[in-house]
Amino acid sequence: MKKDKIPIQDKQAPSGACSPQQALKLDYGLYEKYLEDTDLTEEQKHEFLDTLWNIIVALLIWALRFSPSSKPPQSHVGKMLKSAS
């Protein structure tokens, strides 16, 4: 099953600004050495690294949503503690 891949660096942010996906580019050469002892083909290695990279970028974007400069969403526990005091 082969799916069309869009390299991260080719995606455009809607406003024309640089998105995190554009700013963070995967350099296969830095990580291929860790997969040398596997029986994966070059295409499979790149697909694995792409998947892992996309997970890392997604986690980074998720974490940035809760940066100290933004107000984190208040949980139910936080609302209960606030109303109890």
CA 70 distance to own-chain centroid: 19
Residue % of the chain over a pLDDT of 90: 31
Specify whether the CB–CB gap between 64 and 23 falls below 8 A.
no
Residues 60, 52: Cα–Cα separation, whole Å: 12
pLDDT, tens only, 8-22: 444 444 455 555 555
pLDDT, tens only, 27-60: 899 998 999 999 999 999 999 999 999 999 888 8
pLDDT of residue 46: 94
Could you tell me the CA-to-CA distances from 52 to 34, 45, 70, 77 in Å, in that order?
Answer: 13, 11, 27, 34
